[in-house]
Amino acid sequence: MMHESDSVRALPIITFDDDELLTAASASAAASADAGVAVDPATGAEIGRFPNQSIADLEAAIDTAEAVQPEWAALDDRVRRAYLHRAADAIEASSEALARLLSREQGKPLNGPNARFEVGACAVWTRSAADTELPVEVLIDDGENHAELHYRPIGVVGAISPWNWPMMISIWQIAPSLRMGNTVVIKPAETTALSVRALVAVMNQVLPAGVLNVVTGPGRTVGAALTRSPKVGKIMFTGSTPVGQQIIEASAANVTRLTLELGGNDAGIVLPDVDPAAIAQDLFWGAFINTGQTCAALKRLYVHDDVYDRVVEELAAVASSVPMGVGLDEGNLLGPVQNRNQFDVVDRLVESAKASGARVVLGGDPDYDAPGNFYPTTLVADIDPHNDLVLEEQFGPVLPIIRYTDLDEAVRLANELDYALGSSVWSADRDAALAVAARLRAGTTWINSHGGLHPAVPFGGAKKSGYGREFGVEGLKAVSEPHVING
């Protein structure tokens, strides 16, 4: 039964402890003949199990979402907003247990811009989706003609979330979709399935039954079936460009609406007027937030020859001072690479740089026999701009630093790749930075920072980094069907 907004605010909320949350996230895994195993990437220890569901399970979830969607859409917008605020309350009530499970399964430490930060962002983005206004637009009203633009729900939204920010990016998909009257079926990445199942369990305390559904299973079967379903009107996906291309093909027959946030290999350009010591901290965290496992992280840094050596020196000083280790240790700020496949990608690219004669300033020497997927914080200097480490997205704790003397050449190198999610310009002169920013091809360009996001500011990529925008008004429009009424 759907409730009025006052009743929604009074819905009871359980505060989960660690064991209760793990039990909720693992629900029905025991009944699964082929349960998935969640492993701590810092230690290799088993955390828990989750159901490996079938295509039949997925279809049942889609049918449920489809059945309840008309009633959810028929609610007054104020009531759906109230549900989202109550869901944010529920996230906050169990925030510590959510953060601890996220830290164990994803690997990110509790402190810094990591697990507690991510769970807090889930509540912030949920409230922002609830509070963003999307009024009816009067397009023309001249006495003879009157036309209005309304935004209607699409229906069932299929959400496919990644392993790097599994809770936060899931919320980016869930919250605006629910706000606009859609229902959701979410398929999380297999290596962070428990985190997303836990988040959904917490939110579903207060959401009406069937509005938000989670299905866990292999991407090649369950995920692929979600993208092909004729009952799904919109797919939201964050992940690699090759998988995004597969989704485009799979969804074509149904003309399914798509929002795709795909791979990034973000460039930063440092101009010669900077104070290296003043920008080193922000450069470091722009590159190494979440141990470098962020789509819009700084992944290749072009530094003018006049300040190159000092920038490298200051970056190395910061990098060597940031502790890396098991996420539940309160003192750590960097964690392991989330899975061994990605660890191997990072290792291959660093070895390619070493073989080319590039200078490893820091790191680059993992202990392959140690438990967990720890790759040391690594800076690589004096590297050819067309080395594999520069051209491919490393998605790990490594930053190549390229020396340049000609700004036009640096801009050309920054723009030459197929990826264009984000970029940044670093300068003491804002006008000079803005002039360079205007020449860069990217969904977002930051000035004297990199990767910061705001729930009111649209975010998305250019070129093969995807299409569609999330957050704010544009994010609500992306999960809606525009409807013009004339007369």
What residues are labeled active site? 261, 295
405, HSE (Cβ side, Cα atoms, 13 Å): 0
The 8-class DSSP code of residue 320 comes to T
Paired residues of 301 in beta bridges: 268, 401
Please list, in sequence order, all residues whose beta carbon lies within 8 angstroms of the beta carbon of residue 424, skipping any fewer than 6 positions away: 266, 267, 268, 269, 286, 298, 445, 446, 447, 448, 449, 450
Cα 4 to the center of its chain, rounded Å: 33
What is the crossing angle of helices 193-203 and 95-106, to 10°?
160
The residue written with tokens 């229902």 in the block is 183
Question: Residue 349 region, left (φ>0) first, then alpha (ψ -120 to 50), else beta?
Answer: alpha
Q: Which of 352, 349, 361 is nearest to 299 (CA)?
A: 349
Measured between alpha carbons, how far apart are the two ends of the chain, in Å?
36
The span from the CA of 302 to the CA of 415, in Å, is 12
Task: Cite the beta strand spans of 338-390 per DSSP E.
Answer: 359-362, 378-381
Q: Which residues pair with 42 in a beta bridge?
A: none
